[in-house]
Structure 1
Amino acid sequence: LRMRFKKSQLYESAFTPIIIGLLVGFIAAIMGIGGAFILVPAMIYIIGMPTKLIPGTSLFVTIFISAIVTILHAFNYGSIDLILVSMLILGSIIGVQCGQKIGEFIDSTELKTLLAILLLLVGIAIAYDTFFAPDLIKEATFNGTKTLGPFSSFIKNLSKDFPVQYGIISIIFAIVLGVAAAFIRRFFSGLRKKYFKPAK
């Protein structure tokens, strides 16, 4: 059963987005995430959706996924910190406005590059927490915090003593990193077009 999606200019099986949505919802419920990191690559490489339409579409879908997961976690576990949520919402509102304005000047290739960098960083962070962090924590606990370097000790104390400020700094750092990656990509793209012009 194939359907034509006029807005996305796609002619795709109706079961493909349903199956993707099923997997995203399942993983979101287990891990407590919105599912955008899974949904966005799936829309690009499986469905073949135009990159410019992906941010709005993925965020619209994430609204419903996040709302359902939030309600389930709130009623079943009572695991929502309203103060922390308020701070995250405030930072997200500012970040969305900045990202939307900057996104107007970024083409599809640069958006894909930015997405790849973000996914790579998330993958590295998850792999580090899974395979290396437990051993380092045990070693630091056994030998004392002297085993940690100055930077690691600073991050540890900052996240422990000032969690709200630490979260705000992390959000700002992520925004700056994303913008920097986009401009670096544009810079090298300009060099490539200038010095490596295709032969006619």
Structure 2
Amino acid sequence: MRPRARQLLLDFDNVLAHYRREQRVAHLASHAGAPFARAWQALYGSGLETRYDAGQVSTSGYLRELGERIGAVVDEQAWIEARMAATRADTQAIARLLALEPAVPMAVLTNNGELMARAIPRIVAPLLPRLEGRVLCSGSLGRRKPDPQVYLHALERLGWNAADTLFVDDLFVNVQGARRAGLHADSVRDARALGRVLKRFGLA
């Protein structure tokens, strides 16, 4: 008997959208008039991005420290503009999701800080009626995937049952974490693979 799911929990980067870190860093570097290497170090080499994604630093503290490290003020608008410049919606994946029955609840769970909850609706705008504000970031949950607790916290926020939920991610390590939390889960690399997984779990 094939497993069936009733709800769909989706990763964001490389599932719903294509993301290029280098493009984001270049945009921030241009904003600050700083070398690319300094902007990269500010975000990734310093560990700031990882701490923000895990909820270990507030949004205001994160933006302040990022600005100090990069050598220019980085406000919410500048941050979102840089993220959007590096992120392109996967129109084929979105089309497959929009084709599902309207009764299928959907949500996003992404390893990102709280600011991404404001950027994602702008990047995948056609999905907004289906998501209905259900965009969850690891930064607001206090843990990162693949920690099984982050999936359980997400389900608690959503009011969903693990046994009825399918989680989809591009990284298999995150799929393993979801399975340990009791969710159905599988990895996808493109819209075609997403379609196969949705069909396998009775959603398409």
Normalising by structure 1, report the TM-score.
0.27
Task: Report the structure, 1 or 2, having the larger strand content.
Answer: 2
Bigger RCO of structures 1 and 2 (CA < 8 A, at least 6 apart): 2
Over alpha carbons, which structure has the higher Rg?
Answer: 1
TM-score by length of 2: 0.26
